[in-house]
Structure 1
Amino acid sequence: MIDVGVVMPVYKQKPAFLEAALNSVRRQSYRNFKLIIVIDGAPEMEPLVRQFLGGDCRAEVVSLAFNQGVAGALNTGFKHLQRFSDIKYWTWVSSDNIYYPSYLETLRGKLSKGPKELGLVYSSFQCIDDDGKPINSEQQLAAQRQYQSQAKDLLLDSSIIGVSFMYKARYAGLIDGYGLAPVEDYDYWLRLTEHCEIKYIPVELMDYRVDSAFSVSATLRSHEKHREWRYAYHLARHNARMRRGMAPLITILFPLKESGDEAVRRIENLYEQTFSNYLCYVLDLSADMRVTADLSRISHPVTDFKWFPNTGGTTALLHAAQMVQSPYSYVLGQQSFKDSMDLTVMFNQMEKAPASVLSDYYTDDHKQVNYRYTSEPNHKPRIQDELFRRQSLADYMKANFMTMSDPE
């Protein structure tokens, strides 16, 4: 009985990569599967696909008249799979990756033998270059396995599932299909896992071809495309937290008199942090809202602008600090985060710190995190680039307002 459904979207692809991908699927040790190949508005690819399939009766080719993108092609493919009521397990594969013979058998086995609430399983994978040579060393694979084995809750922070996966059709039926390009998979996992549990398999089951010519990752190399990807990545996490009723944990306050390359660089540096459960308020101190006009062009789902015309930065910060509702607040200064994990580290340290700690911050050499205490003098003269407890920031500013200088 055929109980596994596989979808492969195909747009433009190197013939050699396409042939290798299709052969790897056709040669699976588990043979009871249905393969739907969706030609996504690239009619020149259909003769190649049919040639490489060699008349395999398990495969069906669906051609779309125009390019609908990965999400549209996947939704078309899975809609075709819904015609087969016996198919219980779904996955999709790329037209340039190579899937080991045990790929389907291993993933299906874990799903079929697992508890009812288990809805998605995923595995490790090797990265290869265009010549098919492995990229990751054993040490790198070990680090990847550790990263992917994180708890389900941490899926909200990063896409730990990766590119090797299978899930139950019954749970897929509870959510809408794929969308939110170019983070279709990640957004899908966040929605799917609100209904089921997940399980990691710490073994490599496929080769992932990194940045091949026609891959999605290759299209994201430009700065503008990276911005689009980053916006969608943050939006997927923000939407998931909204659905789950999770309030922001940090409010970022960024006072600015003028916009320019440095302001853009600094706020984009914030957006690259792994920690994402925050609100960002840009405090626009310009007389003509120029800061708002310029920085709002860099889309971000949790950034808002507060206009404080003819107001000093310290006064604006004091007003804004008293509006904060999240447990922590952070005054963004001109000093960039040196590592993408900085905000995560500071947050985790504050969560463990005693109540006598007002805030924490990195030392100038970035070698350790220091603390500001309620009962001890502190030699840090400014409050920028420092993570405060919510009320501590407002109280500190009220007590020291007359001696504080405006942010640069």
Structure 2
Amino acid sequence: MEVGVVLPVYNQKPQYIDECIQSLESQKFREFQLVIVIDGANQETVQAVKEASNMLTIPYEIIFRNENKGIAYSLNQGFSHLNDCRFLTWVSSDNRHDPKFLQTLYEQFVNAPEETVLVYSLFKLIDQNGRNMRNDVIHRETQLKFMSRNKADILHQNFIGASFLFKQSAFVKAGGYDTRFEKVEDYEFWIRLLGIGEIKFIPHFLLEYRLKGEHAYTTITPPDDIRIKTVAASNYHYMKQGKTPKVTVMTSFYNQRKYIRQAIESVLNQTFEDFQLILIDDGSTDNPWQEILQYKDPRIIPLKIENSGKGSALNQGLPFALGEYILELDGDDWLEHDTLETMVSEMSQQSGDVGLCYGNRKIWFQKRYKPIPGPVHKGMNYKNKYEVLTELKTHCPRLYLKSAIDHIGGWPTSIAEDFEIMLKLAEHYSFYWIDKTLYNQRRLVNNLTLIKQIECQQQLKDIIEKVLEEWGGHYKPQFIENKGMIEKVILSKES
């Protein structure tokens, strides 16, 4: 047979199994063999597989295993029974396949250049009832932008999807699926497979991928768990290939679509090029992905999370950060063209106890559609951690030693996270000020600090009191306020 197909089956709804196997039986292309691997499924599922497979007129085999060992193990076992097939693929038991699914993938493959190891296509999304979840025109446009990528992008983003066919010889050379990366076994396999040869993208819908099924791993596995496993696979290969960047730029944003391109391009246009850019969409509702997907730079790692606030968003992006240094950039701000070069050069000359360096920032007041230039806010040098506390200042841009961020456990999740992280760092590290304007900060009417002024000021008081207690309780704070804003903190010795 030309094509070998593996269908791993764990507990599944009988209707979905029936629909999946029926869609395989309906394939126009008939030169394929099917291996069904029962991966410790319950009796209802086993019976559903037996009944559904009775309709098959193509060669098939069922492997029964009482112990559940996961998809990666099942795939390797299934493919070991298909050694004579030139091409391989696998399918999920709750998906449905277009009658031209195998025919199109096969024809595209045999007409592709010899060095091609994988062909893949668009796929539709259906819900638990089999209904289309997206407008086909809009979904097609979005998938085209996301999936038509260079193969190097696989190191930081899985763009392959669920509809694919790969060479048997490449599968063997890559070493099959790795059981250490269960739940993201496909993604980790693609990284190794794409290191062997080229890919070909087919811009046609060939498969219906079911979401929200009660047994689907995307339903039973929390998104954060999948994200962490994805990070582990990506970082494993980055480090294995020695591709760790010097700097990680981390940009979290919420509903800043109109400004995000300027932020991104200010990073991509840096004179210093050894960086990665992690874009963390903190649950935006203004569809920033229309802008983000325009960029194909492999140094960009786009993440979409549920809205949780800036500190939490940065922490969720932190496992992806591979740089020795981390630079923070808000989604509505932008860098000077030499920001990274200047800061990395200065930071690399400091002693190991310097955990943070920063420069000066220029303020821009957003008036309708045009930013109006404002003053430059300079940084400062501090004598000790208590001066960091009493001065109540924050600085931009901030370049952190990543090991320092790891040491303090990541970012605080308060509204005043930028001030609180300075206090946490000040307990263990020194700071260094670069007297040069390196950052452009946009001031908006809906600035979060202004909107939540009362809450923010109370949090500042709580943070300061808590930190002083953690620092030994030697001082008591007195807050000098003006129109509800804390202007100064005076410390007095505890009696």
Which TM bucket (shorter chain)?
A: 0.5 to 0.7
Q: In the alignment, which residue of structure 2 is the partner of 1:3? A: 2
CA positional deviation for 1:5: 0.4
Amino acid at match of 2:167: K
Amino acid at match of 1:270: L
Residue 108 of structure 2 is aligned to residue 110 of structure 1: yes
**Scaled by the length of structure 1, what TM-score is found?**
0.68
Amino acid at match of 1:5: G
Amino acid at match of 1:52: A
- Which one has a bigger Cα radius of gyration? 2
Q: In the alignment, which residue of structure 2 is the partner of 1:192? A: 193
Count of residues in correspondence between the two structures? 318
Sort the Cα spacing of 1:96 and 1:278 in 2 relative to 1 into closer, same or farther, 3 A.
same
Deviations 1:64-102 (A, max 9, x none): 1211111121121112212xx2x1100000101100011
Amino acid at match of 2:50: R
1:397 counterpart (386, 409, 432): 432
Residue 226 of structure 2 is aligned to residue 229 of structure 1: yes
Alignment of 1:290-309 (within 5 A): none
Percent identical? 28
Sort the Cα spacing of 1:22 and 1:380 in 2 relative to 1 into closer, same or farther, 3 A.
farther
Q: Distance in 1 between matches of 2:198 and 2:74?
A: 26
Alignment of 1:2-401 (within 5 A): 2-42=1-41, 44=43, 45-54=45-54, 56-82=57-83, 85=84, 87-137=85-135, 138-178=137-177, 179=179, 180-220=181-221, 225-251=222-248, 268-273=312-317, 276-279=320-323, 325=324, 329-330=326-327, 342=331, 378-379=376-377, 386=397, 388=399, 397-398=432-433
CA positional deviation for 1:43: 5.1
Amino acid at match of 2:13: K
Sort the Cα spacing of 1:134 and 1:378 in 2 relative to 1 into closer, same or farther, 3 A.
same
Task: Give 3-state SS (helix, strand or coil) of 1:126's partner.
Answer: strand
Amino acid at match of 1:142: E
Q: Distance in 2 between matches of 1:129 and 1:107?
A: 25
CA positional deviation for 1:249: 3.9
Task: Give 3-state SS (helix, strand or coil) of 1:173's partner.
Answer: helix
Cα RMSD of the aligned pairs, angstroms, is: 3.9
In structure 2, runs of 5+ residues without a counterpart are 251-307, 344-358, 380-392, 402-428, 436-462, 465-495
Q: Distance in 2 between matches of 1:361 and 1:16?
A: 61
The structure, 1 or 2, with the larger RCO (C-alpha pairs under 8 Å, 6+ apart) is 1
Q: Distance in 1 between matches of 2:40 and 2:213?
A: 20
Could you say which structure has the higher strand fraction?
2
Deviations 1:355-393 (A, max 9, x none): 68979999898x99x9xxxxx973276666746599xxx
Q: Distance in 1 between matches of 2:209 and 2:96?
A: 7
Amino acid at match of 2:200: K
Moved over 3 A (4+): 264-268, 271-277, 349-365, 380-390
Q: Distance in 2 between matches of 1:141 and 1:361?
A: 41
Amino acid at match of 2:48: L
Task: Give 3-state SS (helix, strand or coil) of 1:232's partner.
Answer: helix
User: Does the CA contact (< 8 Å) of 2:30 and 2:58 recur in 1?
Assistant: no
CA positional deviation for 1:112: 1.4
Amino acid at match of 2:51: Q
Q: Distance in 1 between matches of 2:72 and 2:8?
A: 9
